[in-house]
Structure 1
């Protein structure tokens, strides 16, 4: 049930109303509340700071840049969910002490070969508040711990589940296959009335009709979807068959690339999907022995910085420096850096397309130019290739990973839905309130 407003929230509302009643010219310079989340408020300056970061990422594909108000709405919804999660963590007594946070900051600074004071100076030189940036990092750590306790730890798997999963994939012919999917969700409340269902279904039908008439899927997703990847245009990326939600697992194997299906209903709401591409399913595969060095970008390290750093490392390798030692000293891939950047023998489609495309273009022992994936910037070296038969044990290992990931996704989706249903959320901007009503956020 929605909570009553606390004294803090009421005072915040009164202050906000005082601001609104001021002269119109002056209100342009004052901060104001855009949403109330239980006992907390979200103000416009915080929203605009988050929006700035999102807009910077979309500039990589400016031709697909959605209208600003649609992005702003999605950023606000993400901030509301973050606030709800932090409130739950506080109720559970979860926190990150300053000493723990400082240790994390020192580790990040060391990766940039700086001490903490230089690291702080670099953050501030880029126009960011160090205090704000530090607290955002604290929040990220807390939320990750909260998810680990409430979601990930509950995703247990039995041998029988693996057996049934593999039997179903064999029956459907999806063993080893992967699908690139775009997704739109028109969400319903947890206990919808008949009127709720009819309203949401009509909205989903209207969205589907516009897509069939040629509307851009990604722009539409940013505008109307309540799915977790809405702010990325609904792009779910490449998913193994077992990681696809059960509702449309059987559908994607029986439609053609480019086809749009929906609306499909489950407890979350109405879904619309587009199959962008599909691949895999071979019994004999080519494995590649590969190693890499990863440099991540962030508020302090630009694409230009990361690319130049890796090109310098590539030159040193070509002049005789040891790849293993350079990877240990420079790579930010925690899983492989200690092993000299080695990823071992990998199967096709184990990594993102940008990585695999470059890897597959290299001859043995060749080092790639620096290139970018969603994880950061890489250089890659191929050490060898071999033909390999996918064994039952390999399928079982993959099946276990896929079942676990699916359970985590389902549990997290239910948890996020519960947080919204049990919280008090009020939009203080009329445009946001109307958008939330029309898209199902309320």
Structure 2
């Protein structure tokens, strides 16, 4: 969601500026990506967007030609992923898209009508904006299907993870930034030497005091390059093993040596860290016994209608004495409806953040206002709470999730490299 919201902000200022200034020359093709093209106007619009985004972040801008090259590479990688999604019949239906845009409108405290008016007032094409958001969702789904769903964690890996005390879940967290210099698949020794030389040049510039975020935006091949290489906060056990081992003893502001992985050469900086070896994973956690009623939105059930239905049901329980469980059996679209909406005992992290946050704010016996999540709209009732020892099964499940996240980034980078190496890309950036 953060990605979509930042995209919205950048998109607004970009479209406004473009509408004010108008095109400066006849459009032309700057790259051919398989059977599709990227035009000069597409590239300039994205460069303007990224420039404004970096300026808001306080990131020093790379030279214009370097930034344009980086932006074009990102557009090529996005186009390849969207092409793969289309070729394999992966789609984002209008209901899902409307729900995502609805969440953006809610985050901006606007109704959908007012949100659209605000976009149009700033010269933003509604259709173009919808397509941008659809593509963001598509890329996320491609990654989930092609990479995340294929990661396998064996029982032996879980057991080995748990016997090492440094892998205690939640022990330490790092705020990291990184630079990736990607190597082509099946690279020759000469190619590897050239890529290594590029990495060494970047490392030397970091050592001389050049801004890490500017160098990331200039030279990194990672998808997060144009945000200054920022990875955000990650718990130690969820970092790729290569990163976790390299940053363990580093202080904020310090940078690793050049690290080698299957994807290429990495340089990682510790922006900040918190927690420490004295921290321990909780042996007990609070569980919540809850019920819910789910109303899903569709072409015939709008967000407003779903919210109204749940508000009426809440009124019937709170003021009229109706049974929450009985209403759930009749009105809930969830599989738990047959059990009166009973979700059983819920551990922290078992539900999506929107649901968990609303549930945690309730006292036993209380009923929430209508709450939106990616699944629809919910009415939540908390039955009771208890504190329980973390079971062995839960520890293994947490370890398995940590290992999955640890492998995910590296697997995604390797997959992107293969996707790029298989593609036909022709550059036409020189004026004809």
**TM-score, scaled relative to structure 1:** 0.62
Partner of residue 345, structure 2: none
Match for 1:96 among 83, 92, 98? 92
* Matches for 1:346-357 after TM superposition, within 5 Å: none
**Structure 1 partner of 2:422:** 422
User: Structure 1 residue 42: deviation in Å?
Assistant: 0.7
Aligned residues: 319
- Aligned pairs for 1:56-75 (under 5 A) are 56-62=52-58, 64-75=60-71
Tell me if the contact between 1:59 and 1:65 (Cα under 8 Å) persists in the aligned partners: yes
Structure 2 equivalent of residue 160 of structure 1 = 156
Is the CA contact 1:37–1:423 (under 8 Å) kept in the aligned structure 2?
A: yes
Q: Report the equivalent of 1:192.
A: 187
Does 1:41 find its partner at 2:41?
Answer: no
Q: Structure 2: state its 5+ residue gaps.
A: 1-22, 287-350, 363-386
User: In structure 1, what is the Cα distance between the partners aligned to 2:158 and 2:391?
Assistant: 15
Equivalent in the alignment of 1:222: 217
- Report Cα offsets for 1:178-211 as digits up to 9, x if no partner: 2222211111101101110111112212221221
Equivalences for residues 232-271 of structure 1 within 5 A: 232-271=227-266
Q: Counterpart of 2:400?
A: 400
Once the two structures are superposed, residues 293-338 of structure 1 have per-residue CA deviations (whole angstroms, 9 ceiling, x without a partner) of: xxxxxxxxxxxxxxxxxxxxxxxxxxxxxxxxxxxxxxxxx94555
Match of 1:307 in 2: none
Q: CA RMSD in A?
A: 3.6
Relative to structure 2, which stretch is displaced further, 106-115 or 54-63? Answer: 106-115
SS of equivalent residue, structure 1 residue 71: helix
Structure 2 residue corresponding to 1:341, chosen from 358, 365, 375: 358
- Contact 2:240–2:407 (CA<8 Å) still a contact in 1? no
Match of 2:171 among 171, 176, 198: 176
Q: Is the 8 A contact 2:168 2:237 kept in 1?
A: no
**Which one of 83, 88, 96 corresponds to residue 87 of structure 1?**
83
**Cα distance change, pair 336–229 in 1 and its aligned pair in 2 (3 A):** closer
Which residue in the other structure is 2:118 paired with? Answer: 122
**1-structure distance, mates of 2:409, 2:168:** 23
- Work out whether residues 176 and 230 of structure 2, in 8 Å CA contact, stay in contact via their aligned partners in 1: yes
Partner Cα separation in structure 1 for residue 236 and residue 244 of structure 2? 7
Q: CA deviation at 1:99?
A: 6.0
TM-score, normalised with respect to structure 2: 0.64
Asked whether the 8 Å contact 2:162–2:399 carries over to 1, the reply is yes
Tell me if structure 1 keeps the 8 A contact 2:242–2:259.
Answer: yes
Residues 397 and 49 of structure 1: CA distance in aligned 2, closer, same or farther (over 3 Å) = same
Structure 1: tracts of 5 or more residues without a match = 1-26, 290-333, 346-386, 432-442
